[in-house]
Structure 1
Amino acid sequence: MPANTRLKGRSWEDEVRALARLLPGHGVLALLFFTAVLTAWSILFTMQAFPGGTSFAGRSGVGALLWLCSNTVAVTGYGTTFLMWVLMTLAMMAPTAFPAFRTYADLTHTAAANSLSLAVLVAGYLSVWLGFSVAAAFVQVRLASLGLVDPLGRSTSHVLSGALLVSAGLYQFSALKAACLKACQSPMAFFLTHWQPGNRGAYRLGLRLGAVCLGCCWALMLLAFVAGTMNLAIMALAMVLMTLEKLPDIGAIINAPLGVFLILAGTTVIVLPFLPN
């Protein structure tokens, strides 16, 4: 066997082993998880890279998907907006919960849980964000009908943009945010406190985990309307910030400054247009 072939083989094996270490003993689940997340990001990127036309006629397969995903709310309606939010929440929120999923995976090495219950837990978590996508898509369609967001999902009103920024900043200091963030930062304590056995219990636990995560992040997610729901750079930045917030040491440092920054930014956005030139 040529040396370069052996090197390639070893490189691939190393990558597989590295992936398996992310969820020890659950390499297949880890592969499926990250494949789903990367697929969501890839579709969102494609939606930006290839603008759609004005007609669905004659389109099929990937072309039909691109048309649905790259046209405006006015052209494609609620269903496509909902699909976009599903992709956004999968791409942004699933990675932020991975430390919790890995913590639960550690419990599968005991009699308390297994691979199936881990998959059910993830499904429960994603169910909450599916519900959020339903509501967020409705809000976007409604705002679009009122002329308050443009075809890219970006606010056309400086008052709306400022209000979203200020609200998100104030929420950083709320008791609910603190309680939800504490649960996200201590997943083992969360699981031990709310433990329910069996697959049904795992699903309920996933729902509770999703609700806690929603309590942490909903206000930051709605900032998508400020920069545009299809702004991948802002989406990536928001994902990083929400992930860092859930790390105990880093979260304690950035939570308050982030809140102050958002309040100041929102106030500036609201007041600036009223200032004399």
Structure 2
Amino acid sequence: MSSPLARRAVVPASWAALLAAAGLAWVLTVRSSADMEPGPGTMGLGLWGFLLLWGLMMAAMMLPAVAPVVLLYLRTLRAQATGWTRAGRSTGLVVGYLGAWEAFGLAAYGAAWAGGEFAARAPGAAPWVGALLLAGAGLYQVTPFKDRCLSHCRSPVGFLMHFGGYSGRLRDLRAGLYHGGYCVGCCWGLMVVLIVVGVMNLAWMAGLAVAVFLEKTWRHGKAFSLVLGVALVAYACFVPWNPGLVPGLHMPATMPM
């Protein structure tokens, strides 16, 4: 059995590991974007290349926000697992969580591909569709379903009680998928925003990552979520007359068709 001092060291070490993983994912994402322009479509990537990049992006954006849940999960394992076992089980949780976002990446790939096709074939209508999508994402921020999913992410005690009924070698992976499903339900609208403004738009990526973190961890997170929704609707009002605000649905004249 580990000493109390060793158990107390788990929290900062786990925080450091998650933040280091997120930092590495950011570095790899930025390096991958070096030869890509934020614009419509899948940036010339096939499905598997897109999913690999999407996984890196989700790790970069989401790991800081999910860190409190992972740490709470670790605390429940302290009395029943050794250090290496805790590390393996928490890794299973994170892999399951990212797996839920990777599954959403299939829909993201289809949406990005469709957005590129639409921007090329109907450039006049694309900004209006972009405005509708942004407004829809903003309105989703104030829906009961968003509030329910966000409440789960902010207070995951029910999640911990639920995973207690899991058994078998894949129990941690299942727990991660379960929590990741709620996180997808909470944040899918913001990922639609990312597709509309260009999947590899690093500035928007960073801004949305901060927004997700504040929603889930700040004590005023729920109020912030509502303000963000209003801001997205307001932003959408300018898009039809400024197509460059939605690079994911705007084909610049200098970009090849």
Instruction: Answer whether TM exceeds 0.5 for this pair.
Output: yes
Whether the aligned pair in 1 keeps the contact of 2:11 and 2:71 (CA below 8 Å) is: no
> What letter corresponds to residue 145 of structure 1 in structure 2?
E
Distance across 1 between alignment mates of 2:42 and 2:224: 35
Flag structure 1 segments of 5+ consecutive residues without an equivalent. 1-20, 53-71, 150-154
Whether the aligned pair in 1 keeps the contact of 2:90 and 2:172 (CA below 8 Å) is: yes
Q: CA deviation at 1:132?
A: 1.1
Structure 2 match to 1:135: 107
Between the two proteins, what is the percent identity of the paired residues?
30
Whether the aligned pair in 2 keeps the contact of 1:125 and 1:206 (CA below 8 Å) is: yes
Distance across 2 between alignment mates of 1:103 and 1:38: 21
Structure 1 match to 2:61: 92
**Corresponding residue to 1:251 among 209, 215, 221:** 221
Indicate the RMSD between aligned Cα atoms, in angstroms. Answer: 3.1
1:36 partnered with 2:14: no
> What letter corresponds to residue 88 of structure 1 in structure 2?
M
Distance across 2 between alignment mates of 1:101 and 1:156: 44
Structure 2 match to 1:126: 98
1:85-137, Cα deviation, whole Å (9 max, x unpaired): 22211211222111111111111212288333222111211110110112211
Distance 1:24 1:209, change over 3 A: farther
TM-score by length of 2: 0.76
1:267 partnered with 2:237: yes
Distance across 1 between alignment mates of 2:56 and 2:42: 16
> What letter corresponds to residue 141 of structure 1 in structure 2?
W
1:197-245, Cα deviation, whole Å (9 max, x unpaired): 4443322211110001001101001111232211111111100111110
Structure 2 match to 1:239: 209
**Corresponding residue to 1:45 among 27, 30, 34:** 30
1:225 partnered with 2:210: no
Structure 1 match to 2:128: 159
* Bigger radius of gyration: 1
> What letter corresponds to residue 205 of structure 2 in structure 1?
M
1:26-70, Cα deviation, whole Å (9 max, x unpaired): 777666544432222112212333469xxxxxxxxxxxxxxxxxx
> What letter corresponds to residue 207 of structure 1 in structure 2?
L
How many residues align? The count is: 229
Distance 1:97 1:104, change over 3 A: same
3-state DSSP class of the match of 2:10? coil
3-state DSSP class of the match of 1:229? coil
Distance across 1 between alignment mates of 2:43 and 2:102: 22
